[in-house]
Amino acid sequence: MMSDYKVEMINDGMQEFYVEFHGPKDSPYQGGLWRIRVELPDAYPYKSPSIGFVNKIYHPNVDEMSGSVCLDVINQTWSPMFDLVNVFEVFLPQLLLYPNPADPLNGEAAAIMMRDRGVYEQRVKEYCEKYAKPEDVGAAGEDKSSDEELSEDDYGSSDDEVAGKADP
């Protein structure tokens, strides 16, 4: 079913996996490559899959921190007639081509898009360059886990430093 896509299974089950997704042509996302985490519920295809970007993407309808996608077809109007090919060939490309800033998960991206489309598209391209290359997809699930705690060195501070000056 997903023969045109690189799919990597998570654990031994068939319900969680990663899919490599290329940004649509003729869009600011062209040339970008994202790792999409897919989780199929037990009731699939009667219940919609959970879809999320693993590496960062700048888009009004994608939460920048979690990668969660705000997409009506997946989240609210899912039908058992849809399948994962629809998600990757129709729904996600349409989401990237036609963002909906009126229903944002990333308020900053939505505001910039509505205020200045050129600045928004430049920011999208910067994110593609920084976070959506093949090497980012390969490392996204292994080295860049958001669950890992940062060490004191990563924060650049220690308990000995004062957070700020006391009020007089």
Query: At residue 131, does pLDDT exceed 70?
Result: yes
Residue 77 burial (C-beta neighbours within 10 Å; 0-12, 13-18, 19+): exposed
pLDDT, tens only, 6-50: 989 998 878 999 999 999 999 999 999 999 999 999 999 999 999
Catalytic residue among 19, 62, 70, 110: 70
Query: At residue 56, does pLDDT exceed 70?
Result: yes
Q: What is the pTM of this model?
A: 0.77
128 included as an active-site residue: no
Within 10 angstroms of residue 15's Cβ, the number of other Cβ atoms is 15
What residues have CB less than 8 Å from 44, skipping those under 6 apart? 15
What residues have CB less than 8 Å from 110, skipping those under 6 apart? 60, 99, 101, 102, 104
Q: How confident is the model at residue 139 (pLDDT cuts 50, 70, 90)?
A: low
Q: Radius of gyration of the chain from Cα atoms?
A: 18
